[in-house]
Amino acid sequence: MDYIRIQFCDDFDKASSRFRKTLDGMFHNMMPMFSFSESAWKPQIDISETPEEVIILSEIPGVNKEDLELEINARAVRIFGRRTSLPDMGNARYRLAEIQYGQFQRILFMPVPINIDIVSATYSNGFLKIRVAKLHSSRTYKIPIQEG
């Protein structure tokens, strides 16, 4: 079942987002399969850093590699995907339904500028691992001064 998200205007974005999260949490606790938002779930993520790189590890079990998208720029990484629901159980009645299905999106702002030319991503056993090289800004540039 699809739900329509209504957004009144930009001024209400923060209040609307908090309100939607509150309702999502309230209804998800009472009936886990009911959710207002398009992004019904968010995978767990760890971000670590070495002197040379930033490492992102995301736990995304049950998602096929083909259903994942990864976008990157110098300041952020966007992980987008979809976990499809299992086939219908026939006449079975749920007693507990905690597994979340549907699309998800995570936008992660990096702690330092990153080099978008040196990136690798692997997906194994439900874990997406992204390694991005830091952009070292220790280079000094000489700026010519024009006659003015």
pTM above 0.75, yes or no: no
Is there a single domain that holds both residue 25 and residue 12?
A: yes
- Retrieve residue 147's tokens: 């006659």
- Is there a single domain that holds both residue 122 and residue 56? yes
**In this structure, is residue 12 part of a structural domain?**
yes
Angle (CA) 88-93-99 rounded to 5° is 65
Give yes or no: residues 19 and 45 share one domain.
no
Greatest CA separation found in the chain? 83
31 falls within a domain: yes
Number of structural domains in the chain = 2
3-class SS of residue 14 = helix
| Same domain as 44, residue 27 | no
The domain in which residue 114 lies consists of 39-87+98-136
Separation CA 55–CA 115 (nearest Å): 13
- Going residue by residue through the chain, which has 148 residues, state the pLDDT in tens, using 9 for 90 and above: 455 554 555 554 555 566 666 666 665 555 544 544 444 689 999 999 999 999 999 999 999 999 999 999 988 999 999 998 877 778 888 788 888 889 999 999 998 999 999 999 999 999 999 999 998 776 677 888 888 7
Q: Does residue 124 share a domain with residue 52?
A: yes
34 and 50 together in one domain:
no
Token output for 12: 């209400």
Q: Does residue 143 form part of some domain? A: no
Query: 138 by DSSP, 3-state: which?
Result: coil
CA angle, residues 128, 134, 137, in degrees to nearest 5: 165
Does residue 61 fall inside a structural domain? yes
* Domain match, 107 and 72 both: yes
| CATH code of residue 77 | 2.60.40.790
Classify residue 141: in a domain, yes or no: no
